[in-house]
Amino acid sequence: MSKIERVEVFVASPGRTFVTLRITTTDGVTGLGDATLNGRELAVASYLRDHVAPLLIGRDPARIEDTWQYLYKGAYWRRGPVTMTAVAAVDTALWDIKGKTAGLPVYELLGGRSRDGVLVYSHASGTDVPSLLDDVERYLELGYKAVRAQAAVPDVGGTYGVRKGKLYEPAAGDLPDEQPWDTEAYLGFAPTYLEAVRERFGFGFHLLHDVHHRLTPIEAARFGKSVEACRLFWMEDPTPAENQEAFRLIRQHTTTPIAVGEVFNSIWDVQHLITEQLIDYVRTTVVHAGGITHLRRIFDLAALYHVRTGSHGATDLSPVSMAAAVHLDIAVPNFGIQEHMGHPDEAREVFRTGVTFADGMLHPSDQPGLGVEYDEKAAERFPYQRRYLPVARRLDGSVHDW
């Protein structure tokens, strides 16, 4: 019987930092998992190398559920982003191995296709309204049927969500960039540029917007009400979700759909939001919510309450995570949409993925497993670089919520 023989952790920065887990069995089959936690990558790498890898040697790679429970319950200290990202990496790698052993793509092991492709959205942004409109047009011409729109608030030095280079990558510098934030300026400006997008391009595509947790519940309710005519696909992260009852207040004031969950890492974090139907889309991810096994559990709960999926898919999720997400997306019955930002050219030198984009949708590889390869030699050309997400400060200098 095949056993886990080797567990390796790779940390590299091909355009941005990724932590990649590779598990090898005594039969020579390898599986990949993503263990990237933006800004805390080395914490997960250490957790895997120092605490998880020794536990895996000699275990049966086919016992995915048992291994998940062993790593989750056996540690005593449960949940949390570092632990769940490490568990996710192992789980994803074991699904990759199972698919290769069976000679089937992972989505076939999950029950097969529920749809022909996975609807995705990407990020349009601008330093002002004209540049935002030009960027929206660019994504529509690329074939996207859903676009997120963000623009820099006038006279505010930094606005999270606005792309600075070829790709949107907010993590920059070995210390966090401290950016000013003005809530009233945002509330006055954001509805105007979303209205401008609809006025220029109409309603023939899905329009999304990310609030980045920066409003109080009543401010979020005011914002949602003000953009109802724009018919947003969703407003994302309207308020910090630690106080989940706050979403009930937002619900009472607006019909704009709500998406939340990318910072959550377990079914217990979203249980109340889902069962009370306080959100419309759950954005938990393969990499931060315990892997394919646990994310499927979250999506199954969501399906019971008419909540759809909308998994996070920023550039800090490696091509391994994106492939795993697409395999799960194409199988679950309550799929909504998948975030898709692409990866820098350097990352494509390190990761070879069979995921393809066409007609506004992603399509999984039909190769056995996840259909992703990791080039260890190429990764050596991109040594680790510490990068952090920015920190927002109110005009009075105090730290603001994300």
Catalytic residue among 123, 209, 212, 327: 212
Sign of the Cα torsion 78, 325, 314, 188 reads: negative
Active site residue 160: yes
Catalytic residue among 121, 160, 168, 281: 160
Contact 33, 96 (CB under 8 A): yes
Contact 373, 351 (CB under 8 A): yes
Contact 174, 142 (CB under 8 A): no
Active site residues per annotation: 160, 212
